[in-house]
Amino acid sequence: MKNGTDLFSLEGKVALVTGVCYGIGFAVAGALADAGAKIAFNSRHEDAVARAAEDYAAAGIDAFGVVADVTDEVDANRLVGAVAEKLGEIDILVNNAGIIKRIPMHEMSADEFREVVDIDLVGPFIMSKAVLPSMMRRGGGKIINICSMMSEFGRETVSAYASAKGGLKMLTRNIASEYGEYNIQCNGIGPGYIATPQTAPLRERQPNGERHPFDSFIVSKTPAGRWGTPDDLMGTAVFLASPASDFVNGQILYVDGGISAYIGKQPK
């Protein structure tokens, strides 16, 4: 029987975190590294990989970066092969790469909709498909999908994002259902509203110095009374990547400060 500390150890494990250049992905990768994992990451853009490599080095993390597009099957297989050759076969896949387009649905083109779904949903399908054979052969693995509050809720201007993240929730459950017999666990993290560069426009101070209306709305709807930070997701990521979660499968863990459990305060 392992002790509590051993349950959360990732020593000797290889983790690939996709799209990890800043924010949530960077924090998750750092947490996995602190737990002992060897880290690989990717981006579609060479300059982003170079910049992220510098950030990792500054944080004292030895991370292997690859320029690759998660929506391209050939590229995805090349990425997985490059990581295996450099660090060893992948034990932990974190499907973090994603985009959002805040456009009213009646103004959004089909191409814009498809781009979001392609990166946020088809990408995790392609990447999971690329690592599953090795995990099946070796008798285990962890896949963590970065879902969203929008995996459960709708909101104006995010029809494509919500559709993709809702689909990602069901992909998570299907991978768990189909590959659980191989000791592969697939779970999701559903961040609440997290203070990242992606959400920065929603937190900008108004010209008169007041908070952005959406900022005030989110704080009022969150029992914790604040936005989350990427660091708030680190413990959940280590748990889902580690032996501590070996009997947890097909679940979405919402790290949201309580917002999904809260109906809100009665207006005064």
The three state secondary structure string of the chain is CCCHHHHCCCCCCEEEECCCCCHHHHHHHHHHHHCCCEEEEEECCHHHHHHHHHHHHHCCCCEEEEECCCCCHHHHHHHHHHHHHHCCCCCEEEECCCCCCCCCHHHCCHHHHHHHHHHHHHHHHHHHHHHHHHHHHHCCEEEEEECCHHHCCCCCCCHHHHHHHHHHHHHHHHHHHHHHHHCEEEEEEEECCECCHHHHHHHCCCCCCCCCHHHHHHHHHCCCCCCECHHHHHHHHHHHHCHHHCCCCCCEEEECCCHHHCCCCCCC
Given the residues 56, 161, 179, 254, the one annotated as active site: 161
Active site residue 22: no
Please list the active-site residues.
161
